[in-house]
Amino acid sequence: MTSVALTRRGAALWARIDRPGAGNACDSTVLAGLERWLAGAADPDVRVLVLTGTGRSFCAGADLAEATGLLGDLPALLAHLDRGRRLVRGIRAAPVPTVAAVNGAAFGGGLELLLACDLAVAADSARLGDRHLAVGQVPGWGSSVLLPLAVGHAFARRLLITGETWSADESVRRGLVSAAVPDDRLVGHVDALADAVAALDAAAVRRMLGLARPVPDEAAWDREWATLTAHVTAQAAVRTGSTPPAETPD
């Protein structure tokens, strides 16, 4: 059974993360499925990519059990985390519009997947937040880079530092998603949105994406990745009883 179900709905290619028992957390199988979904944009008949989840979660972020199991092999852990980072950056550079159909909780890496998408629509029951600090982690897939572009620096710091979560309505007010709809209308709403986009001139849409997508400072990506690398290196050292390299101030 695949962890990501790919389905064509008209001109849209939907990816549905299907690990409801794990909050749709991203393990290696999910990352592989999302890579296949992203590669599907190369099909000229695919005009929109849509991402959603099964059950009560959109995506709870990286699979902590898998990541913890890799603490004894730091290069493998960093490669796994970098795979997710490259996926997020790939979504941001997709040649077609991307839509997050947020069916439920979107935390940590799940929020980062949402932030990577061009458009986001949330079900009324959805809860959204960064939540990295709640599990003793720091972001590496773009929260610190993309949140300020979505909601401004003040509210980005609030989500990153406090770990609070927002309702769908609050997320609309703050600019994190563009619409909140009743749960049973989410798929229909996104179908209509995707159909409307797919009906537009494809070349013009591609050029519009280049204008509409915010372009963060590359140094911000580098700073976030360096911070995550230092953090997990220190955690791995505690696990293995070794001495982590000394951190130097920026």
Q: Both tokens of residue 45?
A: 């008949």
Prediction pTM value: 0.94
Contact 197, 205 (CB under 8 A): yes
Strands 98-102 and 48-53: parallel
Block residue for tokens 């061009």? 118
Distance CA 57, CA 166 (A): 14
Task: Give per-residue pLDDT as tens, 173-199.
Answer: 999 999 999 999 999 999 999 999 999
pLDDT at residue 62 above 90? yes
pLDDT at position 239: 76
Distance CA 142, CA 250 (A): 19
pLDDT at residue 213 above 70? yes
Percentage of the chain exceeding pLDDT 90: 90
pLDDT at position 250: 52
pLDDT at position 193: 98
Q: List the chain domain ranges.
A: 4-204
Q: How confident is the model at residue 170 (pLDDT cuts 50, 70, 90)?
A: very high
Task: Give per-residue pLDDT as tens, 80-101.
Answer: 999 999 999 999 999 999 999 9
Q: Does domain 4-204 have CATH number 3.90.226.10?
A: yes
